[in-house]
């Protein structure tokens, strides 16, 4: 029942997506990955972090991702809290990314299937091939929410960055009195470190 | 379409979440009502998580770091191959239960080739011969047939000394251990289980932990609630493995249907 519906939806949507849109999405991910490689090869430390922040601002829909990651708490946060949260989360993520990629070790990325999902979401599959070990599956969730294509989530081996953050943030808020302010303060103090 | 990219951290991210023998809580206390993963016994889970974390910091993690940095790479690969080889029978049994006896035969062929030509499994000769490597467990088999979303494995559990799991995967683990020919052999021949199976389990733990070092450190450093982040990542990753198994059978079913149609015409 569920299975057949999934097949039906998939088939119906496959006809709706224009080939141009699919190749745009693939191209977008390709360009993004090239930018990241270039950055990691040429910059280190604070410069690299600033570079990551720039790339993320340009290619990621950060407000949308932040809102998803905060879940129900977004609605309860004030305008001022929201913008502080986004700022702190953005610098935390760019810092995490710049530290994650130590030095470039010649990995290559191959773009795989591009498939549309409901609600204007396009998934671009890719695999990162390393010199040793099996390739890593990375899926890029893209959406055009008015400002052109943007990344709205990254899934590594099926683990969504946004969903993991949402669990993480929600648990933290709930265990610390249910006020979003505590999380924002924590993220801000981490960003300042 | 190839182009370069990086990500050594991703390297270990894959197994990352699977074998979190580690784990650790920043805090322990009251249960949260975070409903994306069903965790009805969160308080005891967090307690075991923190004990696992302590054991990890004191013993397992340092061992895994030393293993990764001091043992020559070819030796590490050999040990990993041998451990994988010992697991092939359980994978084959699960592949039969998953309705894929053909794949189970390939796995058995791998086991025979690698155990002999591959010198007790130290070398993965079978992969070079085109017999691809798979790893299945009963948790995945149950998930594949269960009428539940792939992410729903029943209540989330943190197992002492073993890390994240859930009712589905823990039951699967019990089954896998029960049908493992090497366990049965040890029982039948009345071997000293600790002496014979102990080294395998110890090697398995260190090997697995050495592969999750980067990913787990990353999760710990970049989360505000390590327990919740691990719980989410584990659940998602297992769900993804099961979803891919289900999709594979879906497409095969679809192709078969099309073939049948062609025959009718």
Q: Is residue A94 part of a domain?
A: yes
Q: Could you tell me if residue A111 is left (phi over 0), alpha (psi between -120 and 50 degrees) or otherwise beta?
A: beta
Best CA proximity match to B45, nearest among B157, B167, B155, B153: B157
Highest mean pLDDT: which range of A98-102, B51-55, B245-249: B51-55
Q: Is residue A1 part of a domain?
A: no
- Of the candidates B9, B37, B241, which has its C-beta nearest A167's C-beta? B37
pLDDT for position B11: 36
Condensed to tens digits (0 to 9), the pLDDT of residues B71-106 reads 999 999 999 999 999 999 999 999 999 999 999 999
Is the distance from CB of A123 to CB of A28 less than 8 angstroms? no
Mean pLDDT, all residues of chain B = 84
Q: Which domain holds residue A151?
A: 8-192
Q: Is residue A136 part of a domain?
A: yes
Instruction: With beta carbons under 8 A apart, name residues in chain A contacting B208.
Output: none
Q: Could you tell me if residue A27 is left (phi over 0), alpha (psi between -120 and 50 degrees) or otherwise beta?
A: alpha
Instruction: With beta carbons under 8 A apart, name residues in chain A contacting B245.
Output: none
- Of the candidates B10, B30, B221, which has its C-beta nearest A156's C-beta? B10
Q: Which of A33, A168, A193 has the most B C-beta neighbours within 10 Å, making it the best mutation to test the interface with B?
A: A168
Q: CA–CA separation, A176 vs B32, rounded Å?
A: 10
Mean of pLDDT values over B107-130 = 96
Q: Which of B5, B19, B233 has the most A C-beta neighbours within 10 Å, making it the best mutation to test the interface with A?
A: B5
pLDDT greater at residue B33 or residue B205: B205
* A157-161: long-range pairs with CB below 8 Å, 24+: A157/B13, A157/B14, A157/B16, A157/B17, A157/B237, A157/B240, A158/B236, A158/B237, A158/B239, A158/B240, A158/B241, A158/B243, A159/B13, A159/B17, A159/B233, A159/B236, A159/B237, A159/B240, A160/B236
Q: Are strands A136-144 and A121-129 parallel, antiparallel or unpaired?
A: antiparallel
Mean pLDDT, all residues of chain A = 86
- Of the candidates B14, B29, B34, which has its C-beta nearest A167's C-beta? B34
Query: Could you tell me the pLDDT band of residue A129, with boundaries at 50, 70 and 90?
Result: confident
pLDDT greater at residue B155 or residue A103: B155
Is the distance from CB of B232 to CB of B37 less than 8 angstroms? yes
- Of the candidates B32, B218, B236, which has its C-beta nearest A171's C-beta? B32
CATH code at position A76:
3.10.450.710
Q: Is residue A123 part of a domain?
A: yes
Q: Is residue A2 part of a domain?
A: no
Q: CA–CA separation, B60 vs B202, rounded Å?
A: 10
How many helices (DSSP H) and strands (DSSP E) are in chain A?
8, 5
Mean of pLDDT values over A14-41 = 80
Q: Which of B1, B10, B132, B149 has the most A C-beta neighbours within 10 Å, making it the best mutation to test the interface with A?
A: B10
pLDDT for position A9: 47
Q: Is residue A3 part of a domain?
A: no
Query: Could you tell me the pLDDT band of residue A73, with boundaries at 50, 70 and 90?
Result: very high
Instruction: With beta carbons under 8 A apart, name residues in chain B contacting A157.
Output: 13-14, 16-17, 237, 240
Minimum distance, in Å, between the CA of residue B193 and any CA atom of chain A: 32
Q: Is residue A89 part of a domain?
A: yes
Share of chain B above pLDDT 70, in %: 81
Q: CA–CA separation, A90 vs A78, rounded Å?
A: 18
Nearest chain B residue (CA) to A96? B222
How many domains is chain A partitioned into structurally? 1
Nearest chain B residue (CA) to A157? B14
Mean of pLDDT values over B160-169 = 96
Positive or negative, the Cα torsion across B20, B25, B30, B34?
negative
Q: Is residue A179 part of a domain?
A: yes
pTM: 0.83
Condensed to tens digits (0 to 9), the pLDDT of residues A136-192 reads 899 999 998 888 899 999 999 999 999 999 999 999 999 999 999 999 999 999 888
């Amino acid at each position: 029942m569920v299975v057949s519906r999934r097949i039906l939806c998939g088939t119906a949507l496959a006809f709706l997506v224009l080939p141009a849109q699919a190749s745009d999405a693939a191209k977008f991910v390709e360009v993004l990955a090239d930018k990241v490689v270039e950055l990691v090869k040429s910059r280190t430390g604070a410069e690299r972090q600033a570079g990551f922040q720039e790339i993320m601002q340009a290619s990621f829909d950060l407000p949308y991702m932040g809102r998803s990651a905060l879940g129900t708490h977004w609605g309860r946060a004030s305008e001022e809290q929201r913008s502080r949260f986004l700022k702190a989360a953005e610098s935390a993520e760019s810092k995490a990314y710049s530290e994650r990629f130590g030095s470039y070790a010649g990995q290559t990325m191959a773009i795989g299937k591009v498939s549309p999902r409901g609600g204007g979401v396009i998934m671009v599959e890719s695999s990162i091939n390393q010199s040793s070990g099996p390739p890593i599956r990375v899926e890029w969730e893209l959406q055009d929410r008015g400002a052109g294509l943007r990344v709205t989530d990254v899934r590594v081996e099926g683990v969504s960055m946004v969903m993991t953050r949402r669990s993480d943030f929600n648990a933290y808020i709930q265990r610390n009195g249910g006020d979003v302010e505590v999380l924002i303060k924590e993220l801000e103090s981490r960003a300042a470190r | 379409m190839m182009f370069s990219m990086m990500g050594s951290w991703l390297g270990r991210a894959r197994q990352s979440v699977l074998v979190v023998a580690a784990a650790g809580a920043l805090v322990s206390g009251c249960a949260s009502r975070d409903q994306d993963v069903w965790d009805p016994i969160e308080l005891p889970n967090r307690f075991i998580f923190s004990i696992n974390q302590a054991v990890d910091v004191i013993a397992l993690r340092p061992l895994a770091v030393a293993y990764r940095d001091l043992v020559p790479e070819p030796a590490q690969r050999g040990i990993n191959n041998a451990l994988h080889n010992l697991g092939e029978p359980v994978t084959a049994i699960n592949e039969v239960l998953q309705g894929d006896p053909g794949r189970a035969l390939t796995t058995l062929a791998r086991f025979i080739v690698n155990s002999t030509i591959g010198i007790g499994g130290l070398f993965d000769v079978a992969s070079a011969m085109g017999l691809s490597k798979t790893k299945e467990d009963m948790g995945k088999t149950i998930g594949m047939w269960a009428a539940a979303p792939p992410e729903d494995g029943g209540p989330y559990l943190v197992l002492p000394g073993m890390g994240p799991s859930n009712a589905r995967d823990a039951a699967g683990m019990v089954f896998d251990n029960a049908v493992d020919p090497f366990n049965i052999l040890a029982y039948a021949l009345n071997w000293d289980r600790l002496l014979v199976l102990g080294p395998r389990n110890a090697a398995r733990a260190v090997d697995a932990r050495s592969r999750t070092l980067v990913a787990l450190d990353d999760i710990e450093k970049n989360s505000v609630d390590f327990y919740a982040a691990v719980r989410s990542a584990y659940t998602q990753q297992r769900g993804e493995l099961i979803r891919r198994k289900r999709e594979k059978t879906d497409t095969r079913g679809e192709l078969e249907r099309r073939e049948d149609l062609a025959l009718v015409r």
